[in-house]
Structure 1
Amino acid sequence: MPTSSIELGRPVSGDVIDLILDDHRRFEDLLRQLRDATSDRDAVRRAFATLHVAHAEAEEKEVYPTLRRRDAISEHEEEHGEEEHAEGNQALLAVLELKGTDTQTFDDAVEELARVVNHHLTEEELTILNPAREEVAERTRLALGKAFADERNNQVDADCGRIENVRAIVARAEKRGLLDDEE
């Protein structure tokens, strides 16, 4: 992996729901490490950035559109997921742009990142993954798992967590109106 020695997993196949949930648990673990002043917080934030961008891009490109076509989620749920990814990327950018990792400002930025990401994980598990589990055939979930894993791995290989890439993603989200104030 270009940006970090922290293991992010490299799935190649499986039920898309299980793959997404595995990443969600990785996010939670990385957030715990970011809060730990004794960890290599710079390496952890780079790993988090890579995982966050790869995961969100794979969901938006492969998972959400397919679930919507299968009527497992609504257009509103798809758009809401994209908005929450954009908010996560914005909070992530704030963490990445800080020079030091041993300041109150860094701790505050990490807590904001954790708040935004944890909210999204909970909501996605309840409103997107649960319906998909019940309404999408296993064969489709397995095909979607392969597509998700392929895109996720391609993003990781492209060093998607680079600060320049995160800045560009946030700028695109702003242009699309995904970061507007609450509806």
Structure 2
Amino acid sequence: MSAPRGGYALVAPTASGGPMPDVVDLIISDHRELQRMFEVLRTDRSKRAAMAPVMSTLLFAHSRAEESEVYPRARDAGVEEDVEHSQKEHLVADQLAERLTGLDPESDEFGEVLDELVHAVTHHLEEEEETVLPHMRERMDADSLQQLGERFLAARAEHLGDQPDDMTRAELEQQARNLDLSRSTQRSKAELKDALEDEAEL
């Protein structure tokens, strides 16, 4: 297994040479790691300075990989409403994570924003595991889910080490497509960001 920037190890095929986990397995594995990090951040203030950027880069990489690879396929599989709702929740998490990265880990405000982020992301993970992922399992065959898992891992690897304020125009446009926003390609990056912030389900 490789360990990218931030020390988070990518999920790799099993040592016995077994099949690669499918995309649902990989997403749930990330969810559990994020929940583990949240628990440490909330209960051990001494680890916040070191762990907060690791958590935020995993959250960022996971979200961008879902948006670029998973959500378009889920939409094709007929779960448009689930995708749009999940994308709006990503926008909330992006806003909160960006706020968190600019705060002193020792400050009271850091703890308050962390609590907001943990609440928002935990709600999102639970809903995704109850709606989007089961629907994908029902409507996509095993080979498609495994191939999508490989693309998810590759996309996530590209973003490990990035932070929420590293969003590109292309990534903003993908978020807009997931929300079925029209005329996204005609807007500047700043206009796109403003339009997406308006869509966030705060």
**Length-normalised TM-score, structure 2:** 0.77
Q: Does 1 or 2 have the higher relative contact order (CA < 8 Å, sep 6+)?
A: 1
Pick from 113, 123, 130: which aligns with 1:126? 130
- Residue 14 of structure 1: how far off its partner (Å): 2.2
- Residue 40 of structure 1: how far off its partner (Å): 2.1
Pick from 94, 99, 103: which aligns with 1:94? 99
- Residue 64 of structure 1: how far off its partner (Å): 0.8
Distance change >3 Å, CA 146–CA 96, structure 1 → 2: same
Match of 2:175 in 1: none
Question: Which sections of structure 2, spanning at least 5 residues, go unmatched?
Answer: 14-19, 173-189
Contact 2:92 2:200 in 1 (8 A): no
Aligned residue identity for 2:131: T
Residues 33-59 of structure 1: CA deviation (Å, up to 9, x unaligned): 111234421221111111111111100
- Residue 181 of structure 1: how far off its partner (Å): 6.4
Q: How many residues align?
A: 175
1:9 aligned counterpart, secondary structure: coil
Aligned residue identity for 1:177: L
Match of 2:68 in 1: 61
Match of 2:116 in 1: 112
Alignment of 1:164-175 (within 5 A): 164-165=165-166, 174-175=193-194
Question: Which sections of structure 1, spanning at least 5 residues, go unmatched?
Answer: none
Contact 2:49 2:105 in 1 (8 A): yes
Contact 1:77 1:128 in 2 (8 A): yes
- Residue 180 of structure 1: how far off its partner (Å): 3.8
- Residue 9 of structure 1: how far off its partner (Å): 2.9
- Residue 122 of structure 1: how far off its partner (Å): 0.6
Residues 92-143 of structure 1: CA deviation (Å, up to 9, x unaligned): 1121110x21222111111001011001001111110111122211111001
Match of 2:176 in 1: none
Pick from 70, 85, 88: which aligns with 1:80? 85
- Residue 70 of structure 1: how far off its partner (Å): 2.2
Aligned residue identity for 2:44: A
Contact 1:14 1:142 in 2 (8 A): yes
Larger Rg: 2
Aligned residue identity for 2:42: R
Match of 2:195 in 1: 176
Match of 2:47 in 1: 40
